[in-house]
């Protein structure tokens, strides 16, 4: 559920001053809530501290709203919320950041709210640079809230450097267990009750992993929802760990996507084989990466994660391999993989900026059971197809892998190496709480519309439809017109279609 598949707008570099929030805090917090609301309440000042917590006599705001500022055709306002790490306790606290977005001139209009739930896990919302895509359509009638899910963006971000403050793998696991969909929903409810006038319900739009969060929301906090819109994000909801079923279906889809890729770009078969052979024959079984990691044949296969599942992925992957090799400009010089390719590879993988994706990915499928490196186990069952070195030696196309995290990543990716022990403990962890309530979903009263992509490589069509059958009243829109990146590629059309399914413009047949 990679976030890049929902990056509907171009990135913007914008500096903020977040709360200084330590990962661990032992000071008790006493909370008093003051009931202020959004700019739709005429008496509110433009810059407001909303609700305070007393810490040893000092006042810490539970909600701070900044002033309005602009990008082309949009007005933005930043919100920071001081939120419990663990909702069963009052401390320690973390910051959750949310950006409010409206069309220019609508800052004071009493618009309904729409919360966007980002793909992931472990990725922040994209930064708006201008109106466009689904955002333009949403801002026609909504006040949009872009929430950086806890641990990402400006929400007390968990980066390799910030997590290095935690001295033991056990302490880190005890901290990371609070960063799944259940607590993301708690955060959303915390924000809704302080942001929406009279703490009224809002509409949610969940893309990919954000759709998983939306189904958790429907399970445990449906009274906070007016409507739910889901794009490429209906999760498997069975008890235990459903990761094995996900990866079995995923490897089947991967073979198909690889076949389509090489049919489009048959010249890449030989290029990829050459790169794999070069890596396998290099000292140590790979070549050094700029960050200090190592690129191995199995690491090269990870390019399928971004390259095989989105609308322009095939083309970007092909153009990447166009520049795999340095030119030989001196007779007799050895051929080598280009620095351009090695740097581009690390930008594609991006674990240095968003390590939560690797650490928590398999846990999003766990309820009361451990994952035990499910992707690695299912890959071993398919190794006759996915062994890169054997494929290259045998003259077969090398198959790329998809949205799968493997234990060896914590050896080969420099940014992940410090967290190898924590990753192992997370893979073995059994006592994950429930993420879904099937009885509540069977009795759902919230209007739900879901785009289900027939050839979605990340969220399997068959598994999605099994889940849809358990959510009362859901209206699935099944289409092969778009891939997993439909909200990014044709956001206005996709969002308009889903809204029309719920407002009567596309009546039931």
Residue positions counted in the chain: 509
Question: Per DSSP, what are the bridge partners of residue 448?
Answer: 228, 474
Report the predicted TM-score, pTM, of the whole model to 2 decimal places: 0.89
Q: What angle do CA 323, 328, 331 make, to 5 degrees?
A: 170
pLDDT single digits (tens) 245-273: 999 999 999 999 999 999 999 999 999 99
For residue 1, what pLDDT is reported?
58
Cα–Cα distance, 91 to 93 (Å, whole number)? 5
Q: Which residues contact 202 (CB under 8 A, 6 or more apart)?
A: 112, 113, 114, 115, 145, 192, 196, 224, 225, 226
Q: Average pLDDT in the 141-169 region?
A: 97
Percent of the chain at pLDDT > 70 equals: 88
C-alpha to C-alpha distances, 378 to 277, 349, 374, 397, nearest whole angstrom? 25, 21, 6, 20
Cβ proximity of 146 and 99 under 8 Å = yes
Which of 20, 56, 88, 431 is flagged as catalytic? Answer: 431
CA distance 377 to 406: 9
What is the DSSP code (8-state) at residue 72? T
**Mean pLDDT of all residues in 10-15:** 31
User: Among candidates 58, 78, 83, 60, which has minimal Cα distance to 68?
Assistant: 78
148, two tokens: 């950086």
C-alpha to C-alpha distances, 479 to 231, 235, 454, nearest whole angstrom:
11, 17, 6
Is 208 catalytic? The answer is yes
Give the confidence band of 509 by pLDDT, cuts at 50, 70, 90: low
Work out the average pLDDT over 330-345: 96
The model's pLDDT over 444-496, given as tens digits with 9 standing for 90+, comes to 999 999 999 999 999 999 999 999 999 999 999 999 999 999 999 999 999 99
CA dihedral angle for residue 388, residue 342, residue 1, residue 141, rounded to 10 degrees: -150
Report which DSSP code applies to 435. Answer: S
Q: Which of 136, 208, 363, 371 is catalytic?
A: 208
Does 25 score more than 80 pLDDT? no
Over the stretch 121-136, which tens digit does the pLDDT of each residue have?
A: 999 999 999 999 999 9
Listed residue (328, 308, 332, 327) closest to 318, CA to CA: 308
Task: Give the model's pLDDT for residue 52.
Answer: 43
Contact in structure between 192 and 199 (CB atoms under 8 Å): yes
Residue 431 annotated in active site: yes
42 has a pLDDT exceeding 90: no
Looking only at the bridges linking them, the beta strands covering 93-103 and 294-295 are unpaired
Is residue 71 pLDDT above 90, yes or no? yes
Mean pLDDT of the chain, nearest integer: 89
Work out the burial of residue 263: count CB atoms within 10 Å of its CB; fewer than 13 is exposed, 13-18 middle, 19 or more buried.
exposed
10 Å CB burial of residue 317 (0-12, 13-18, 19+) is buried
Other C-beta atoms within 10 Å of 53: how many?
18
Q: How far apart are CA 126 and CA 152, in angstroms?
A: 11
pLDDT in tens, 408-453: 999 999 999 999 999 999 999 999 999 999 999 999 999 999 999 9
Our answer to whether residue 35 is catalytic in this structure is no
Q: Are 352 and 415 in contact (CB under 8 A)?
A: yes
- Beta-carbon neighbour count of residue 126 at 10 Å? 22
From the candidates 5, 186, 484, 497, give the one annotated as an active-site residue: 484
Instruction: For 56-112, list the strands marked E by DSSP.
Output: 58-65, 69-71, 74-84, 93-103
Copy the structure tokens of residue 295.
């690129």
Return the pLDDT at 504: 85
What number is the average pLDDT over the span 395-417?
97
List pLDDT tens digits, range 298-311.
999 999 999 999 98
- C-alpha triplet 338, 339, 340: angle, nearest 5°: 85
């Amino acid at each position: 559920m990679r976030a890049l598949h929902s990056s509907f707008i171009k990135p913007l570099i914008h500096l903020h001053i977040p709360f200084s929030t330590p990962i661990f805090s032992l000071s008790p917090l006493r909370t008093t809530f003051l009931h202020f609301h959004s700019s739709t309440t005429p008496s509110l000042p433009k810059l407001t501290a909303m609700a305070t917590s007393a810490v040893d006599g000092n006042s810490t705001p539970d909600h701070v709203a900044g002033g309005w500022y602009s990008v082309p055709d949009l007005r933005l306002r930043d919100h920071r919320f001081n939120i419990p790490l663990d909702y069963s306790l009052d401390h320690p606290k973390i910051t959750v950041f949310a950006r409010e977005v409206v069309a220019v001139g609508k800052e004071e209009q009493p618009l309904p709210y729409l919360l966007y739930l980002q793909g992931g896990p472990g990725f922040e919302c994209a930064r708006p640079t201008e109106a466009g895509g689904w955002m333009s359509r949403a801002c026609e009638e909504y006040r949009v809230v872009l929430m950086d899910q806890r641990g990402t963006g400006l929400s007390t971000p968990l980066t390799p450097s910030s997590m290095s403050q935690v001295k033991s793998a056990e302490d880190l696991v005890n901290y990371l267990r609070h960063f799944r969909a259940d607590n993301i929903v708690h955060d959303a409810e915390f924000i809704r009750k302080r942001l929406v006038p009279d703490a009224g319900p809002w509409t949610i739009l969940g893309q990919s992993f954000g759709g998983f969060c939306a189904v958790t929301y429907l399970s445990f906090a449906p009274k906070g929802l007016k409507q739910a819109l889901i794009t490429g994000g209906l999760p498997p909801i069975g008890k235990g760990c459903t990761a094995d079923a996900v990866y079995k279906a995923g490897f089947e889809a991967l073979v198909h996507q690889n076949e389509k890729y090489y049919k489009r770009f048959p010249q890449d078969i030989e290029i990829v084989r050459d790169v794999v052979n070069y890596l396998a024959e290099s000292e140590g079984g790979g070549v050094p990466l700029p960050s200090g990691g190592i690129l191995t044949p199995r690491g090269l296969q990870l390019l399928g994660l971004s390259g095989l599942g989105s609308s322009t992925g095939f083309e970007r992957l092909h153009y990447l391999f166009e520049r795999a090799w340095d030119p030989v400009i001196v007779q007799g010089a050895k051929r080598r993989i280009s620095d351009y390719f090695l740097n581009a590879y690390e930008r594609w993988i991006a674990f240095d900026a968003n390590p939560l994706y690797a650490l928590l990915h398999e846990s999003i499928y766990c309820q009361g059971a451990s994952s035990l490196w499910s992707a690695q186990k299912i890959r071993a069952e398919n190794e006759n197809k996915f062994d890169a070195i054997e494929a290259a030696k045998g003259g077969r196309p090398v198959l790329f892998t998809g949205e799968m995290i493997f234990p060896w990543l914590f050896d080969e990716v420099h940014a992940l190496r410090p967290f190898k022990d924590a990753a192992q403990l997370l893979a073995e962890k059994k006592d994950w709480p429930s993420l879904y309530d099937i009885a509540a979903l069977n009795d759902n009263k919230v209007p739900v519309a879901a785009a289900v992509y027939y050839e979605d490589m990340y969220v399997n069509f068959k598994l999605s439809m099994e889940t849809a059958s358990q959510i009362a009243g859901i209206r699935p829109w099944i289409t092969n017109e778009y891939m997993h990146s439909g909200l990014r590629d044709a956001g206005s059309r996709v969002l308009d279609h889903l809204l029309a399914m719920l407002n009567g413009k596309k009546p039931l047949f």
